[in-house]
Amino acid sequence: MNTTRLSLHWKWFGAIAFLLILFLLAINLSLDLTLPAYLRQKIQADLERHARLTAELVRRTPATELNAATHHWAERTGLRFTIIARDGSVLGESGKAADQLPHVENHRNRPEVQAALKTGLGVATRPSDTVNVDLLYVALADAGRIIRVAQPLHEIAATTRQIRRTVAGASLLVTILVLPLAYWVARRTTAPITAMRHMAARVAAGHFTDRAPEHAGGEIGALAGALNSMSQQLETRVAELTSEKAHLAGILTGMTEGVLVVDAAGKVRLMNHALRQAFQLTDDALGKTGLEVFRHAGLDELLATPGARELTFLHPTDRTFTVQAGNLTGGSGVVVVFHDITRLKQLENVRKDFVANVSHELRTPLSIIKGYIETLLDPEPPDATTSRQFLETIQRHSRRLETLIDDLLSISALESQEARLEFAPAAVRSTATGVIEELAHRAAEKQTTLTLDIPADLPPVRADVQRLHQVLVNLIDNAIKYTPAGSQVRVSAAPKNGFIEICIADNGPGIAPEHLPRVFERFYRVDKARSRELGGTGLGLAIVKHIIQAHAGKVWVESEMGKGSRFYVTLPTA
């Protein structure tokens, strides 16, 4: 079994059981190692005592009775007694009859006898040649004789086996009794720790309501209390951080400026919605460097040296931003704010173009008027016929200036929403019919055919009738002006998705694709020279655009070179 998967109480129980078994094995092993030597030492000491007592008896016993005495002492003690003369002859042997003594081998060369003769006491262990068993011999020299006492060693083995069986049985009994108790102790001791482990795992997963049991007492109870306190504090901190994160996310999401955060290594760590939308970024950009994401050397320099700079990006569209970068606290990264000024740049360019165009449009008629007036005021004025021609020219250009100024004031009023529009149900067919009748003479001069294709039951639109009339006049008049003689202009209308879509189509030369996006700009002319010859101010379509936008509608143009143009206007139904 993989021990890493064992529960804590099983690990504790296993450790206790292992130590218990190891301890009992050590006891049994120590008995095997020490008990035989101890018993031998005790037997040797007993044999020495018996030898000294026997020596006293030998001194009082006649030589002829020594063999009988050894038999008597052997019966009383269970030991083996031998009386040996200094020359090694056996005087008495508890294991031999008196008539066998002359045939017993001389014992002078026996180790214990030699030791006794030298030191007074000799000890030896060996198999007996006489009785053929292992004996422990103790020989004592006394009064010219050697008293030797012996005891078989098989008693030591028997005693050792008996004690080993007793100790082994006791060890088994202790094991049987202690192991369940050890399991209970391990279970009881580790239960609070296991509960705290589960509680910590739940807290790590975000479940801060779990609590560890504090009833255990002692250090474990104190630890449980500390864990519970930590969990409460974590819950409070996480709630605060979550609230702050949600607040920050709400702020970043609601910002119209793009926000970028990079770490100290220059890797992207955060992008708000505005920045993602502006540069069409996804989460794939996270973890990459600013240069990898934006491919802009100027921004890379700004990240290295924070400050403010105006940068133009070509991808995904041509846009200009005021970019401001600042270091985060502790040098942990840089925060960059992108403020889109593309529209402001466009408006600035439009303003410059507008001023230039207005100046040009005003300068031309004023120069002509000034020149003719200076001629008329000359000391020698021209004749009456020429003077009248000059005055007619001055009057024509004055009317042009008046029309230009009226158109400028009209656009200004529409842009500033100062123009008051009186919305009411308006019939597109009747309004278009009136415009066609009004422009019929001009169309006839150019041999242009005006066709009305608007059903009588067309729903009315919600519009200012005068402004609707102005829109149709400008569009139809432009169609007449910019188409060659003999052309056709068709005015149609049809309902579409809650709106009325009006179309003014001609079969003129058409408009080149590069001009289509700009035809509704002020003073923008596809053919500037021809437009001025036809008396246009260059503001007609711009006025149309502003009027339709004020009506919550749309205006656009479709054209193909050589196939004419189609101007579309949508207005909400009444």
pLDDT tens-place string over residues 160-215: 778 888 888 888 888 888 888 877 877 777 777 777 777 777 777 777 777 777 66
Percent of the chain scoring above 70 in pLDDT: 90
Mean pLDDT, rounded, for 23-40 = 81
Task: Give the span between the Cα atoms of 189 and 8, in whole angstroms.
Answer: 10
| Of 209, 319, 332, 211, nearest in space to 263 by CA | 332
Residue 530: the pLDDT is 45
Task: Give the span between the Cα atoms of 514 and 258, in whole angstroms.
Answer: 32
Contact between 71 and 51 under an 8 Å Cβ cutoff? The reply is: no
Q: 345-396, pLDDT tens digit by residue? A: 877 777 776 666 667 667 777 888 888 888 888 887 788 888 888 888 888 8
Looking at the predicted structure, is the pLDDT value of residue 111 above 50?
A: yes
Residue 417: the pLDDT is 65
* pTM (predicted TM-score): 0.44
Which single residue is written with the structure tokens 């508890």? 94
Task: Please calculate the CA angle 128-134-155 and round it to the nearest 5 degrees.
Answer: 140
Looking at the predicted structure, is the pLDDT value of residue 132 above 70?
A: no
Looking at the predicted structure, is the pLDDT value of residue 89 above 80?
A: yes
Helices (H) and strands (E) counted in the chain, each on its own, are 14, 17
Q: 4-20, pLDDT tens digit by residue? A: 566 666 777 778 888 88
Residue 3: the pLDDT is 45
**How confident is residue 567, by pLDDT bands cut at 50, 70 and 90?**
very high
Q: What mean pLDDT, rounded, does the chain reach?
A: 84
Mean pLDDT, rounded, for 393-410 = 77
How do strand 449-453 and strand 488-496 relate by DSSP bridges?
parallel
**How confident is residue 525, by pLDDT bands cut at 50, 70 and 90?**
low
Among the ranges given (271-285, 345-359, 451-465, 552-566), the one the predictor scored with the smallest mean pLDDT: 345-359
| Of 85, 81, 105, nearest in space to 94 by CA | 81
Contact between 44 and 195 under an 8 Å Cβ cutoff? The reply is: no
Q: 463-492, pLDDT tens digit by residue? A: 999 889 989 998 999 899 888 888 999 999
**How confident is residue 526, by pLDDT bands cut at 50, 70 and 90?**
low
**How confident is residue 244, by pLDDT bands cut at 50, 70 and 90?**
confident
Q: Which amino acid is at 127?
A: P
Looking at the predicted structure, is the pLDDT value of residue 420 above 50?
A: yes
3 state SS for 303-316: HHCCCEEEEEECCC
Residue 539: the pLDDT is 78
**How confident is residue 506, by pLDDT bands cut at 50, 70 and 90?**
very high
Contact between 404 and 537 under an 8 Å Cβ cutoff? The reply is: yes
Looking at the predicted structure, is the pLDDT value of residue 70 above 50?
A: yes
Looking at the predicted structure, is the pLDDT value of residue 295 above 50?
A: yes
Mean pLDDT, rounded, for 244-250 = 79
Q: 312-343, pLDDT tens digit by residue? A: 998 888 889 999 999 988 778 999 999 999 88
Among the ranges given (7-11, 37-41, 160-164, 236-240), the one the predictor scored with the smallest mean pLDDT: 7-11
